[in-house]
Amino acid sequence: MPASSDQRARFLASGADDDLPIIDAHHHFFDLARNYHPWLSDHPVAFRYGDYSAIKRDFMPADYQRAIAGHLVVGSVLMEGEWDPRDPIGEMRWASEVAREHGLPAYVIFQNVTLAELARAQPRSLDEMSGISGIGAKKLEAYGEDLLRVLGED
């Protein structure tokens, strides 16, 4: 939910960080016993941001609420957590379940404009699909084959 005009006014008047409306643009949920995340479950891998051992644990909505306590978070974006590449649709289904169970909005994989272009273009190969705006290499790898299968159904 966006910051209300009262919240904005309170922050502008006080300048206090406690009154600063925040949109958390990037967070994850992990349930390592239920879902396999190779980069969190396997032996440490070289990682561009350094040691990530502190996040190699479950992190669910209740944990997120504790982490943001004391901050005025008015919105957030749940990012994919790079789970098992053999199950590219599984993370989407799981995140949708978590959203329903906790009364949270579901996350978005593709913008509506991308979905509309997929429906219009009806790509028949990953190469054709890669030319559609909003489908980068990572999304193509994660969802491309499944999208082609769905688009091929009558």
**126 and 103 assigned to the same domain:** no
**32 and 95 assigned to the same domain:** yes
**15 and 81 assigned to the same domain:** yes
**54 and 101 assigned to the same domain:** yes
Question: Mind spelling out the 3-state secondary structure of 4-62?
Answer: CHHHHHHHHHHCCHHHCEEEEEEECCECCCCCCCHHHHCCCCCCCCCCCHHHCCCECHH
**103 and 134 assigned to the same domain:** no
Instruction: For 4, list phi and psi in degrees, rounded to 5.
Output: -80, 165
Q: Which two tokens stand for residue 53?
A: 């051992």
Average pLDDT of the chain to the nearest whole number: 81
**102 and 116 assigned to the same domain:** no
CA distance 148 to 140: 10
Domain that holds residue 35: 1-107
**54 and 71 assigned to the same domain:** yes
pLDDT of residue 107: 56
If one counts the domains in the chain, the total is: 2
Q: Which two tokens stand for residue 150?
A: 């769905």
pLDDT tens, residue by residue, 2-19? 567 777 788 788 877 777
**137 and 101 assigned to the same domain:** no
**96 and 44 assigned to the same domain:** yes
pLDDT at 131 over 80: yes
Taking a C-beta distance cutoff of 8 angstroms, is the pair 77, 27 a contact? Answer: yes
SS3 27: strand
CA distance 18 to 88: 39
**29 and 83 assigned to the same domain:** yes
Task: Residue 60: name the closest of 81, 44, 41 by CA.
Answer: 81
**101 and 151 assigned to the same domain:** no
CATH number for the domain including 142?
1.10.150.80
pLDDT of residue 109: 64
Torsion from C-alpha of 138, 144, 146, 151, nearest 10 degrees: 150
pLDDT tens, residue by residue, 60-101? 999 999 999 988 887 888 887 888 878 767 887 788 788 888
**97 and 33 assigned to the same domain:** yes
Q: Say which amino acid occupies 139.
A: K
Name the pLDDT band for 112 (thresholds 50, 70, 90). Answer: low
71 vs 58, residue with greater confidence: 58
pTM value?
Answer: 0.60
5 vs 38, residue with greater confidence: 38
pLDDT of residue 151: 78
